Amino acid sequence: MVLAGLGHMFLGLWRGLWFAVPSMFLLYLYWMEQWEYADVVFLSLGIFAAFDAFSIARRGHGII
């Protein structure tokens, strides 16, 4: 997983920005060591975004 939301952008959906922007902010918090749980939230967001993008590609609609 490189960045949450890239799967949506690959499918041509602007919805991926709703995942990409918070994940970039979480990466910033993780790198600056401002919040100790940023890596857990980043990973959770990435898993959710990947499952949603797969669901859109497979069924035509996502889970949200």
Q: How far apart are CA 26 and CA 4, in angstroms?
A: 11
Q: Please name which of 49, 37, 61, 52 lies closest in space to residue 4, comparing C-alpha atoms.
A: 49
Q: How far apart are CA 31 and CA 57, in angstroms?
A: 32
Stated pTM of the model: 0.80
Token pair, residue 52, equals: 């949603």
pLDDT in 10s for each residue of the chain, 64 residues:
578 888 888 888 888 889 999 988 988 898 888 888 888 998 999 899 989 999 989 988 777 6
Sequence ranges of the domains in the chain = 11-59
